[in-house]
Structures are given as C-alpha cells and as structure tokens.
Structure 1
Amino acid sequence: MGVADQINWVDAACWNGTAFDGGWNTRLATNQDVLEPATGQALWRVGVASAADMTAAIERAHAAQVAWAATPPRERAAVMLKAAALFEQHFDELALMIARETGGIIPKGHHEVRESVVLCQLAAAMPMQSQGQVLPSTPGRLSIARRVPHGVVGVISPFNFPLILSLRSVAPALALGNAVVLKPDVRTPASGGFILARVFQEAGLPAGVLQVLPGNAEAGEALVTDPRVPMIAFTGSPGVGRRIGELAGRHLKKVSLELGGANNLIILEDADLDAAASAAAFGAWFHQGQVCMASNRVLVHASVVEGLKARLVGKATHLPVGDGASGQVALGPMIDAKQLARFDALVQETVQQGATLEAGGTFEGLCYKPTVLSGVKPGMRSFDDEPFGPLVNLVTFDTDEEAVSLANNSQGGLSSAVISRDVGRAMAIGEQLNAGMVHINDQTVNDDCTNPFGGPGLGGNGSSVGGPADIDEYTRWKWITVKASVPQFPF
C-alpha cells in the first residue's frame, strides 16, 4: 500500500499540476513526479512554476492583502487557532506524508506536525498584542509609532524540515496582516507547501491571501526581484542565501536568511561520556544529519577522545538504517542522489586529507550509514564545509582556549553546545562562541518556537525568526502624528 492510499483528508489529486491560489485552479508551466527517497517510487505529481507563474501569484496575493490586513484582529487570530486544531485533528496522516516525502523517520514527522500546532497557536496571539507605542511629544500633538504589515511576504523553504520551516514564516506573516507567496522545494512540495494550503483553506483564510507554488531558481528569482514583495524569508544553503541577499539588496528589500555553517558540540574532560556520546550521536545523525543545527563538529578533550570514540563507533555500528516510515529504523534515506553524492565526496576527501574513518562511510541506495571520522582538523573539507549528512567529526583540543579557537574557526553558525559537569566553566566557554544559539549540557539541535532563531555569518544575516523576533521581522514601523488643527508656520 502506497502513501497515497493512506491519505484521506489531504487529496493529492488537487495539486496535480496546479498552484494553490485560494483554490486549486491555476495550472503551472510544467509537471514532475515527486519521488519517495526510501523507494524511488512516485508519490504524487506536481506543477513546477515558471517566472510568469510566480508573477501572476504575486499579483493575486497583492490584490488580496489590503482586505486581509483590514480584517479585525480577532478574526485573524481565529484562523490561526483553527489551523492549529486541524494540524492536531489530522496529526498521524500529516506525519506520515512528511516521513514519506522527506525520507525521515515517523517520530520526525510527528515532531514537525506537533511544532506546527505550537507555531499556529503562537501566531494566533500576535494580532491581539499591542501593535505599537504612544511616543513623547509636544502638548496638543499625539505621536504614535505603529507596527504595520509589509504587504506581500515571499517565503522560500527547504527540503529537510519543510513543514516547520515554511510555517514558522507563513503563520506569523499571515497573522500580522501580510499576504504570503510560498515557494517550497520541488522535492518536498506537499510537506513544505500543499499541507499548509489545505490547512489554511479549511481554517477559513480568505482566497488569495496565501499562494503556494513549487518552483526552481527561475521562479525564486522572480519572487525575490518583484517590487510588490518587500520582504523575503529564505531558509537554505549559504550559496543560494548569498544570491538572494544580493538580489534583495539590489531591490532594497528586507531579507531574513537562515542558512547553516559550523555547529560545534564541545565535550570537556569531566563529562559523563555515555551521556555525551548519546547527545553527540543524536545531534549529528538525527534526520541523517540534514539539519541546519546538526552537531557536525564534535570537539572533545584529548584525554577522553578514545572513550567517546568507542561509544560513538558502537552506536554507528548498531543503529539501523532504512525506510524511515517503516518504524523500524533510526536513520532514513538522504533526500536524493545529488545530496548523497556530495556528502560521500566530502567524507572521502576528508579521509584522503588525513582523517581516519572509524565507522560508516558506506551507503545502500540513498541510505548512508552513520559515519565517524577522527583526527579531523582545520583545512580538512569536513571541518571547513557543512556536511549536511550523518557525520561525526571528532576534533581534539587540550585547553578551553583551544576549544574556543577551534569552534570559532568558521564563518559563523547557528548553534553550539558545551557538555561539562562544571556549569560555570561551560557557560564561560559558551559566552565566547560565535553562534546565534548556545546550549549548556545539551546537543545543538534545539528549537522551542518561542525563541529567536538565527545566527551570524553563514548562520544567516544576523537576523532571527521566532518568539520575540517575529513582530519585528514581519512588520515595519509607521509613525503617525495627530493635531487638533493646523498650526501657524513662519513661511
């Protein structure tokens, strides 16, 4: 039985070659099959947008946005609460769709749907918060600073956690009165786009306010350069992020970039090695390491590296790899052959540069074995480049100062962590790390939805989304003054 046979509420036939325009009426330029990474079989067929398709979607969103922004805040909040309830109601079906389309294990699908409930609930609170401030001014003059929507927000989301990484921008942007044009990755168009479309359609979002259309670079560039889209929210690779930042800057747009870079897990010599190995394994191998926060560098004190290495090799040897949706494995397949080939080349090149392959380094189909490299140093490819695959890079240090220096030997990153029984010492190290997020006695893959999420350099452009950052991201300031009558001027 295929995944399509187990879908009852989300009808894949709706998006066969179409965009979501409030309904399923707009045919797109071309069509392609979406392949299940675990089996190579077609899950469904979707349309792929051209630049002209994207321009038309922007026009529809632009036309719908004014009325949506004027919708009373309680009504916008009600749509978000209804969306949260729909995610809960169809929890298992949506989790299965995500697992199949992304190659993830079922608990990863559960995580995406569960966090989507929270994201919608948080978004529902935004329209009911204060939307500005009364500023000090001269007597007889009312001075107000208001937060107002940008207008149309363009969202470009990736393949790895497509539902969360789309919704974390879509939900607050909509709640605050923007229209949204969403371009999900063509490899995960249902998880990253059409699930959201179905949920918000059922939740009562007015037609046109959300446009969903998968597309490649041509459609993405049309979205980023259109003057009717004053803000772009992008999650993806540093290379594409640089291109989007360049285009957005040229067109004077606000841009929120969440990229990747180096994430460091530092393990001090006093750590509980069993607990540290478990944390490192999860941080590096969860969802096959295809996580922007993955613990791709494990910096370990030289006096305990052998004990940690033995524990990680044991885990790598015994963790089952296969079809994530089967419920029988810990790691699923990588998203596609191109991603696997890039990752395998990174592993093999790092070994040629002098690292030692301790475990893994092989694959069957798209399923890559959890891999451990020791003796990794700056200048080796897996140290310098983000692996985005199931890899533990073991890097040794002798002093806290050396650990900090190694961790900061990068162009920036999202997340870092320090494991030690001495919390004060760990916090002192954490304060020195060039990362947007730091976790003490944990691994690097963490997000509560209520926290600002972002990082410097390759982590993004220093911006953050989530929690207290969202109102700043998805609205702009507007200053208004009011006087009872026009004063006399000297001219």
Structure 2
Amino acid sequence: MEKFINKNQSYLNGEWTEGQSGRSYNILNPYDNSVISTVTLATSGQLAESFEVAKQAQKDWAKSSAEERRQIMVKAAEYLKQNREEIIDMISRETGGSQIKANVELQLTLEILEEAEKITDEIYQVREVPSAMDGKVNHIHRLPLGVISSISPFNFPMNLSMRTIAPAIALGNAVVHKPDVQVGFSGGIIIAAAFEYAGLPKGVFNMILTDLEEIGDDMLTNPIPRLISFTGSTPVGQHIGEIAGKSLKRVALELGGNNPFIVLSDADVDRAVDAAIFGKFIHQGQICMCINRIIVHKDLYEEFAEKFIARAKELPYGDQTDPKTVVGPLVNERQLEKALQFISDAKKAGVNVALEGERVGNILTPTVFRDVKNSDDIAQIEMFSPIVSLIQAETDEEAIEIANDTIYGLSSAIFTTDLERGEKLGLQIDSGMTHINDQTVNDAPNVSFGGNKMSGMGRFGNPWIVEEFTVTKWISVQSKYREYPF
C-alpha cells in the first residue's frame, strides 16, 4: 500500500499534478476512519485543460498501430500483477471490502485488460457493402469515437473504471476519468500508475481527483467528450442522460438494481441458500448486482428462510483486512445511516424483521426481513447494504411476475433442477442478465453486461463495447460516370 501513497495526486497530461483548489480531502479506511492519505482537489479549470489535452493527444493516438495499443494493455496488466499484494491491500482498506472482494476485483480488472488486447484491431476495419448504383462501391469504416468522459463509483472502483478505460484506449480513444475521490487510489491513482508504467503517450489518459463542489457538471457539459460513461445510482444516471441528450452525446450508463433471486418449487434449497448468502452479502451488499429480493415458492419458503437466516447470523464481521472477515464496513457513515433508516422505516411499516442487524462502527451486520410484500417500500428500494427481503410466491409463474414488478432490470437469478425450463423463464425476466442456478453477482469482459429499464443504457463487454466506443463512417466511391435526372 505504501508504494502508492506518494502518488496521491491527479494524473494530467502524463504528469502527477497537485490540485489547485486549495481544498484537501482525506481518504479514509471505513473500518476505523483512519486516514490513508490526503489529496488536494483539482479545479474545474484543470478539468477543462485535461479535456483539451485529451483532444489533442487522441489525434495522434488514433494513428497508433493495433500492436502499439495491444502492448499498452499487456504492460498495464504486467504492472498490476507485479504489485498484486499491495493493490489488494489498498482495495480492501480503501473500499472496506474483504480480502475475497479485493482479490475478485483485481482479477476482474486483469481480465478486462486481457480482453482489451483482443479488440485493438477492430478500428480501421473496412467492410464493403453492395450498391444498386452502377459503378458505386460502398465502404463502411470503423473509427475511434474521440474523447470519452469516465465517471466511476466507490464500490468496485478499479474494475468499474477499467471496464471503460481499457477498451476506450484500446480502440484509439482518449479518456478523462474521474473516480469517486473517497476511493481515489483504487479507482484512479493505481490505474494511472499502470498506464504510466506501460508507456501510454501523455494526454491519452487523464485522471482527476476532485468533487462536485469543484467541478459541478463539467464532466458532462464540456463539449469535447463524445460519450459519457457512468456507473452509479439511477437518479444521477437520469441527470446525466438529460444533459447528454441536449448535446446528443452518447452515454454508457450502468445504474441501480433491485435484483431478484428466485427459488422455484423444484429447487435444491441448500444450494440455493449457499448462492443467496454469497450474492447478498459479498461486499456488504454494496454492488449494483447484489440480491435485493429473494422470491421463494411457498412449498420451500419456510425451509429456505430458516436455513438462510441461520447462515446469515454466522457470517463473520469486522476488520476487512482480516482474511476471515466476510462482512466489513459500509464505505462511510452516510451510507450506514441510510441503511439504518431503511430498517427503521420498514419496521414502522410493520414489516417482519426476522434478523435485525447490529451496528458496530461503520459495520452493519446482516438484516433479513421476511413475509415481505413486493409492494412494500423495502422491496422496491435498492438497499446497497446487507439488508434483504424474503418474499413468498404462490406459484413459479407468480415468482416471475413479482421479479418483474420493479422499475429496475439489471441482474436476476433462478434456482431450479429443470435447466431448460429455467432458461425459458429467464427470458421472461425483464433484466439485462439472468443466471440459472447461480446468484446475481456475475461479471466477465466477454459478455454483454448491462441493464434494462431504469438500470441503464448500453452494454459493456467484448464485442458490444466496440460498437459503443467507436463510430462508423460510410464512404462511397463512384468509379463510373453517373447520369443524373437533371
């Protein structure tokens, strides 16, 4: 961890740069609120300059060869591998994530870089299409999009930053990236260090440590970026979409979720419980894909509830850097207070608390509500914490209906012993992703990752990200004289 402390600055135009705001920010370990490092926040002027730098750098970067771009991905991954233990330690300390979570996050980040190596030759491909006009040849060219504005969240900051940054750069674009400053190392500084080590030309990747008080909507309104990539809450995503729409900018938005975990009448209860425990409590439920509602057929409901609650009670909690810890702290006290309010409101509404969590510093131990109606507020809000609702379904068909009764549509899961039927039912769930006999938290760089409804727009993953981060251009060549009607 100490290796990165001296890089506690923004990375602008290939230089580690002190913020000019005169304001500082303490990056904290959420377990004990100890200060990991203090950074100075950059200004809106520095951000504007970064976009200008990126615009100029992208022009040259767009001329780079596929092999040059591929080598940058290889070397960046090499840096992360060489510093694996220090990076895992920083991810854990900064995000409040367990050692399991930190290892998963770094591995996903490496997989993204490895997948990005495969797409460096996707630009400048030319496709010829037929023409009805005599002597005309149609060529469809794929070109880099330009500059991309990237904004990442606090929960899986390295992974959710890199899934925009790596493919964008691999496809000849430049990036201006703003991580959530409370996880500035995992979400920005270490990534910048990796690309610096890799020899990425100056200005192609710029990482700014700042906050909304300093820059407002400047990541969105600056005229230079052609696309805004954002992972975070649905309300913020709506705000971004509104601003981007006015300028006809593209967006890649991965937003909130109210993810259902469905246990059908023929499911193996013990295996379903194993999956649900992981899918709900990994990283304290602070993942957009985490299970929010568990919907169980009435014939299995009591057995499932009893076993799930018993397992949730046993989960070890505490200092996230302890390898034995499963439930660590929420990222800050504000998130904790928000979760406690959810619990309080549900209790006032008469919802049955089967397991009430305990507050220990910034830790909230697992909380389970049972006999929840899908219309209850607790079943319609994204918890983003170790709180879950158990809902009983009269039939398997009703379970699917309940699953779809939400404004969200990110991830979902179905447990059943009939795999063919499970996949057919999975197609009936209005979400971007459904997992049969698994939990809802799954990611890979070679699948179409994204949500439906209020859970987002666009798809990450190869090859879908190629379409998102490039532009096609039609050039026709008329080789024979064309007769015109006038």
TM-superposed deviation, 1:403: 0.8
Deviation at 1:345, TM superposition (A): 0.7
Match of 1:169 in 2: 164
Residues 334-378 of structure 1: CA distance to partner in whole angstroms, max 9, x if unpaired? 000111111111122112222211113221111110111101112
With over 3 angstroms needed to count, the CA separation of the structure-2 counterparts of 1:216 and 1:132, relative to structure 1, is farther
Deviation at 1:220, TM superposition (A): 5.5
Matched, 1:440 2:436: yes
| Structure-1 residue corresponding to 2:177 | 182
The amino acid that maps onto 1:109 is: A
Q: Secondary structure at the match of 2:50?
A: helix
Q: Secondary structure at the match of 1:442?
A: coil
Would the alpha carbon gap of residues 253 and 273 (structure 1) be closer, same or farther in structure 2, given more than 3 Å must change? same
1:136 partnered with 2:130: yes
Q: Which amino acid aligns with 2:127?
A: Q
Aligned mates of 1:349, 1:132 — CA distance in 2: 58
What is the rounded CA distance, in whole Å, between the counterparts of 1:101 and 1:28 in structure 2? 24
How far residue 490 of structure 1 moved from its aligned partner, in angstroms, is: 6.2
Matches within 5 A, 1:366-385: 366-385=362-381
Shift of 1:121: 1.2
Tell me the SS of whatever aligns to 1:447: coil
User: Residue 99 of structure 2 contacts residue 321 of structure 2 at CA under 8 Å; is this kept in 1?
Assistant: yes
- 2:118 equivalent in structure 1: 125
Deviation at 1:435, TM superposition (A): 0.4
Question: By how many angstroms is 1:149 displaced?
Answer: 1.3
Report how far residue 428 of structure 1 moved: 2.7
Alignment match of 2:382 (pick from 380, 383, 386):
386
| Deviation, structure 1 residue 469 | 0.8
Alignment-derived partner of residue 462 in structure 2: 467
Bigger drift between 309-318 and 420-429 goes to: 420-429
Q: Does the CA contact (< 8 Å) of 1:281 and 1:392 recur in 2?
A: no
Match of 1:331?
A: 327
Cα shift at 1:332: 0.8
Q: Deviations over 1:268-298 (max 9, x none)?
A: 1222211111111111111000010011100
Contact 2:265–2:396 (CA<8 Å) still a contact in 1? Answer: no
- In structure 2, the partner of 1:301 is 297
Calculate the TM-score normalised by the size of structure 1.
0.95
Match of 1:240 in 2: 236
**2:103 matches 1:87:** no
2:296 and 2:450 map into 1 onto residues whose CA distance is: 25
Map of 2:348 onto structure 1 = 352
State the Cα distance separating 1:200 from its structure 2 match: 0.3
Kindly indicate whether the alpha-carbon contact (under 8 Å) linking 2:122 and 2:466 is maintained by their aligned counterparts in 1: no
Aligned-partner Cα distance in 2 for 1:407–1:214: 39
Post-superposition offset of 1:162: 0.3
Q: Residue 70 of structure 1: which of 58, 63, 69 is its match? A: 63
Q: C-alpha displacement at 1:153, in angstroms?
A: 0.1
Shift in Å, 1:80: 0.8
Cα displacement (A) at 1:487? 5.3
Matched, 1:273 2:269: yes
2:23 maps to 1:27:
no
> Does structure 1 residue 155 correspond to structure 2 residue 150?
yes
**TM-superposition CA deviations, 1:220-271 (whole Å, max 9, x none):** 6101111111100000000110100100001110011100121100001222
Contact kept in structure 2, 1:20 and 1:197, CA below 8 Å: no
- 2:246 corresponds in structure 1 to 250
For structure 2, the 5+ residue unaligned runs are none
Residue of 381, 393, 397 corresponding to 1:397:
393
Q: What's the offset of the Cα at 1:322?
A: 0.9
Q: Is 1:205 aligned with 2:200? A: yes
Displacement of 1:483 after TM fit?
Answer: 4.1
Q: Is the 8 A contact 1:65 1:179 kept in 2?
A: yes
Q: Relative CO higher for 1 or 2, CA cutoff 8 Å, sep ≥ 6?
A: 2
Q: Assess if the C-alpha contact under 8 Å between 2:135 and 2:480 holds in 1.
A: no
Q: CA RMSD in A?
A: 1.6
How many angstroms apart in 2 are the aligned matches of 1:292 and 1:450?
19
Match of 1:480 among 462, 475, 482: 475
Is it true that 1:453 corresponds to 2:449 in the alignment? yes
The Cα offsets for residues 56-115 of structure 1, whole Å up to 9 and x where unpaired, read as 111111111100011111111111111122222211111111011000011211111111
Deviation at 1:26, TM superposition (A): 4.8
- How far apart, CA to CA, are the structure 2 residues paired with 1:229 and 1:160? 25
Larger deviation: 31-40 or 343-352?
343-352
1:311 corresponds to 2:307:
yes
The residue type paired with residue 426 of structure 2 is G
Partners of 1:134 and 1:188 in 2: CA distance: 46
Aligned-partner SS, 2:138: strand
Deviation of 1:136 after TM superposition, in Å, equals 1.3
Match of 1:364 among 349, 356, 360: 360
Separation in structure 1 between the aligned mates of residue 309 and residue 477 of structure 2, nearest angstrom: 69
Alpha-carbon distance in structure 1 between the residues aligned to 2:255 and 2:216: 16
Question: Match of 1:3?
Answer: none
Measure the CA separation in 2 of the matches of 1:486 and 1:178. Answer: 38
Residues in 2 aligned to 1:187 and 1:242: alpha-carbon distance in whole angstroms: 23
3-state DSSP class of the match of 2:181? Answer: coil
Distance in 2 of aligned mates of 1:288 and 1:412: 20
Contact 2:370 2:390 in 1 (8 A): yes
Match among 106, 121, 128 for residue 113 of structure 1: 106
Cα deviation digits, residues 387-431 of structure 1 (max 9, x gap): 000122100001122111111111122111100112233223212
Q: Which runs of 4+ in 1 moved over 6 A?
A: none
Contact (CA 8 Å) 1:19, 1:28: kept in 2 or not?
Answer: no
> CA contact under 8 A between 2:374 and 2:391: conserved in structure 1?
no
Instruction: Measure how far apart 1:486 and its partner are.
Output: 7.1
What is residue 35 of structure 2 aligned with on the other side? Answer: 42
CA distance in 2, matches of 1:19, 1:198: 9
Indicate which of 3, 7, 29 corresponds to 1:14.
7
Within the candidate set 280, 288, 291, 1:292 is matched to 288
2-side partners of 1:487 and 1:284: how far apart? 65
Q: May I ask how many residue pairs the two structures share in their alignment?
A: 482
One-letter amino acid of the counterpart of residue 339, structure 1: Q
* Secondary structure in structure 2 of the residue aligned to 1:296: strand
| Alignment pair present for 1:422 and 2:418 | yes
Greater CA drift, 446-455 or 373-382? 373-382
